[in-house]
Structure 1
């Protein structure tokens, strides 16, 4: 029991202040006295108690002494932690105050620069509006204005990309996260200290002061961060305004040059328009004369063609001349007769032509230019075109492979052997 009173206490108070060491010495001096009193009572009780009761009493005494010593050590550690925390917070507060003053100065300077830039932009904007009012009078400048707007859009997109790159600067965010982490850690330590120091009113007051300081420092830090953000935004805005001023100045120069060039082009176009108008009037007069001459020539040509057809025994009808034979030949010889004279056997495309052929042939059976000699059942005209619709006798065609050439007579068309001899009709086009 006496060895407990002489335990090595300085080993626990090596890092403490002198006041803490004196307090520990007091507790250490009190322990031998208490142990002596307890020992005396224990010796007296031993005379009247059994060995089992004596051991239980010794265990209880040792437990109470150990609890008292642990409580004293915890109090000393808490005091030390509170003092270190107070010094740390005071140092941080001083640094934040200095940085805040510097940021306020920078903010004032940037605000003045922004005001000047806004004034310059206002002036340039007024000049641009005056130029735009002049441009509205010329519709030809609308296309170039669209191109300028496209360039401005491209520059705006580049500006947005630069802003996105600037937003990636997270240094301030990381510092803020570190500060919040430190405050969180301090808050957790504070909560642990509060749980242990609930019985000590002096520590409670100091805790309240520390909490107030931390709250104040947190508010100051947030304000400084806001100022830093405003400072960054103002710097970016100043750069953007300078860029806009430069772009607007260049744009104004380009617009003035374009106005001058377009004015000159307009004058040239007006001169050319006047000349072309005069030439158009002259050409219109010439066109009218040529149309009259063409009509006269057509009329003379038709009259000459009719007279020529009448001389050689051919019949003219709508710029086409026809010949009805007065002798009979087979289909091949009849076609040869026509081709030797620059014509061919007649082709009938519609009801009017069919009626005309009946009229000039007098209802006699005549060869026409239709045959299926190449492919049986596939009727083709002498110009190579296929028959689409015809004027067949209801009983025709009925000759199969023996009858491959077509005659036209009163009931309609009929297929006959090509070697039979009949009259024929030639058809040619006036050129």
Structure 2
């Protein structure tokens, strides 16, 4: 129902309910008042509808913003989860690779240790083939130790290589005589087979012929494994290393 219909109804009711004679001026005033009231109602309704539209628009905008934010948040969360999963997978791959590398290195270590052991045994076997050595069980002078070896079909040991020096050193745990001396001529070191010394394994500062009476050579286990020779008095009592 529009505002003009409302106005006509109100006007008709006013005419029917009027008792007594009405003046023409009074009717016009009432008509103006009704129109004014109708205009006010129309304005109020328009303002109300406008406010409702604004509220709805604000609500729609806020809802859209909220949905968009939630969608972006979910997208970001999904991307973060995917990146995290990728990182975990990458770390697991690296872990497996490191484990494989460790296993490979450990296997190589075992192979090298086995090879070293095998070579060491071969070296000892080869040295045993080249010579058979044993130690006297009595403390004697250099000459008596040599005689001890000779009585058993051997002589004091001759050391003419680094390998043999290390091998003989590994057998000793005390000072022992070897088959080297300069008893015939001072400073002219010779082996018991009368061959001249070519390579020596002297302890630092040796030989020094201390006191002018050090002509026989010992191997001193207390020094380094390689450089352990020392000249001393031939009358000193030591065990000897014999070689067949």
Could you say which TM-score interval applies, normalised by the shorter chain? 0.3 to 0.5
Which structure's relative contact order is higher, taking Cα pairs within 8 Å and 6+ residues apart? 2
